[in-house]
Amino acid sequence: MSFGLQEQMNGLLREQVREAGYDVGLVCTDEGLLVAASDEEVGAEELAGVVSLFDDIVHRARRDLAMGRIDEVTMLDPDRGRLVVRPLALEGSQRFFLVVRLPARATWRRTTNLLGRRLAGLLTPLTREA
């Protein structure tokens, strides 16, 4: 991945996280590898690791609860806030996720939808090259 692309994504994440009042936003691969982050000081590497749970949770929800169309996994700790994991809509074998940590009472769907589309637009040329 080019340094310029990573800087574009970092800037977009910083802007959206600041405007929405979130703690941190990041993009990572399905293996939990950090691609871009709004803030390097907020434990982004640890947050990226939760992405590995996404497939397991989705698989169990499909199998046990007959939930076929899951577009996010959200976890809430009233004391520490909410963690949202959303896959980015991209074609190709490489999967990327948006991970956002926000205050417990904050809203997120509209902001993460918009941010996800903008990030996917930046990543699309990269996934076509792979």
Q: What is the mean pLDDT of residues 13-24?
A: 94
Residue spans per domain, the chain: 3-129
pTM of the full structure: 0.86
- DSSP secondary structure string for all residues of 8-38: HHHHHHHHHHHHHT-SEEEEEETT--EEEES
* Residue 38 binned pLDDT confidence (cut-offs 50, 70, 90): very high
C-alpha span between 99 and 55 (Å, rounded): 14
pLDDT in tens, 42-76: 666 677 677 777 878 888 888 999 998 888 999 99
Beta bridge partners of 7: none
Per CATH, the homologous superfamily of domain 3-129 is: Dynein light chain 2a, cytoplasmic (3.30.450.30)
Contact (CB, 8 A) for 75 and 82: yes
